[in-house]
Amino acid sequence: MTPNDEWGLIGRVAIVTGGGATGDGIGNGRAAAILLARAGAHVLVVDRELARAERTVAMIEAEGGSAAAAPYDVTVDTQCAAMVQNAVSRWGRLDCLDNNVGIGSKGSVVDESEQNWHRVMHANVDSMFLACRHAIPTMIRTAGGGSIVTISSISALRPRGLTAYSVSKGAVIALTKAMAVDHGPDGIRVNCVFPGPVYTPMVYARGMSDTARENRRKASVLGREGTGWDVGAAVRFLLSEQARYITGQVLGVDGGATLVGPSRASE
C-alpha cells in the first residue's frame, strides 16, 4: 500500500469504534477502518470482541496498512480514556474518531421496557458522549484539532416502529451539532452519517429472507443495495481534509430512501 495524500490522512491517527465484524463481513466500522488505512492513517480498531477487531487489522495489514486492535467497551468512561491513551501511546497523537457503536431495538414506548430503553440509550448515545469526552481534549493537545464522525440512522428521520432506537439516533444528530458548535473554535469538526437500509453483517446475522433483502434494495430510489463500503467511504471523506470546511452536517447514505414514504415491511 502506497497511498498518495489526496485525503490529507497520511500519518494521521484514527480510532474506529465498533470496527470489527463477523467473519470476513464488511460492516460500516470495518469498511471505514480499511479505507482510512488505505489513505495512510494509523488506525486503532476497537471492538468489545477482540477477535473481530483483530480480523479487521489483519485485513489492513495484508494491504500494507498500519493498524492495531483493542477490546474496549465504549459505554465505560475509564475504558474510553484508556482507548484514547492507547492510540496516543502508539502513534503520538489523535486526529480522527469514528463513533460507530450501536445496537437495535423494536417496539413503541408502550412495548418497550424501562430497562431496555436505558440499555439502548447507553449503548447508542452515552458511548459517543464518553468517547468524545476523552478524544476531544486529546485531539486539541496532540494535533491542534481533529475530526469526528458519529453514526446515526435513517430511523432518526423516518421512524418506523423502532422507537427507542429512533430516539437514540436522533440524539446522536443533536449531539453532533452541539459538539460542532462547542468545539469548532478548537479546530474540531464534527459530522454525522446516517445509513439507510445497507446490507451489513449486523443486519444479516439476525437472519434475513431473500424477499426482505429485495424489499430493502427497492427502498432505494437508485434501485441498488448499499453496503458497509458506502458508509465507510462517507466516513473517510468527512474525517479527511477534503471536508475541511464541513462541520455540523448530517449526511445520508441511503440511496435516496428518505425521499420516499416509509415502509416497515421493506426494512
Is 214 inside any structural domain? yes
Is 82 inside any structural domain? yes
Q: Name the pTM for this structure.
A: 0.93
Is 266 inside any structural domain? no
Does the active-site annotation cover 165? yes
- Number of domains the chain is built from: 1
145 HSE (CA, 13 A, CB side):
16
Q: How far apart are CA 85 and CA 92, in angstroms?
A: 9
Residue 86 has a pLDDT of 98
pLDDT above 50 for 201: yes
Sign of CA dihedral 101, 212, 167, 148: positive
Confidence of residue 266 (pLDDT cuts 50, 70, 90): very low
CATH number at residue 106: 3.40.50.720
Is 132 inside any structural domain? yes
Is 54 inside any structural domain? yes
Is 261 inside any structural domain? no
Is 162 inside any structural domain? yes
Q: How far apart are CA 252 and CA 255, in angstroms?
A: 8
pLDDT above 60 for 168: yes
Per residue in 39-82, pLDDT (tens digit) is 999 999 999 999 999 999 999 999 999 999 999 999 999 999 99
Per residue in 205-252, pLDDT (tens digit) is 666 677 777 777 777 888 888 899 999 999 999 999 999 999 999 999
Is 5 inside any structural domain? no
Q: How far apart are CA 40 and CA 125, in angstroms?
A: 29
Mean pLDDT on 122-151: 98
- Among 165, 199, 204, 245, the one annotated catalytic: 165
Instruction: Say which residue, 214 or 7, is predicted with more confidence.
Output: 7
pLDDT above 60 for 265: no
Residue 260 has a pLDDT of 83
pLDDT above 70 for 16: yes
Percent of the chain with pLDDT over 70: 93
Q: How far apart are CA 229 and CA 70, in angstroms?
A: 22
Reduced 3-state DSSP string for the chain: CCCCCCCCCCCCEEEEECCCCCCCCCCHHHHHHHHHHHCCCEEEEECCCHHHHHHHHHHHHHCCCEEEEECCCCCCHHHHHHHHHHHHHHHCCCCEEEECCCCCCCECCCCCCHHHHHHHHHHHHHHHHHHHHHHHHHHHHHHCCEEEEEECCHHHCCCCCEHHHHHHHHHHHHHHHHHHHHHHHHCEEEEEEEECCCECHHHHCCCCCHHHHHHHHHCCCCCCCCEHHHHHHHHHHHHCHHHCCCCCCEEEECCCHHHCCCCHHHC
User: Where in the sequence is the domain holding 191, given as residue range(s)?
Assistant: 13-256
Question: Which residue type is seen at 13?
Answer: V
Confidence of residue 261 (pLDDT cuts 50, 70, 90): low
Picking from 134-148, 172-186, 187-201, which range would have the lowest pLDDT averaged per residue?
A: 187-201
Question: Which residue type is seen at 133?
Answer: R
Residue 223 has a pLDDT of 85
Mean pLDDT on 106-131: 96
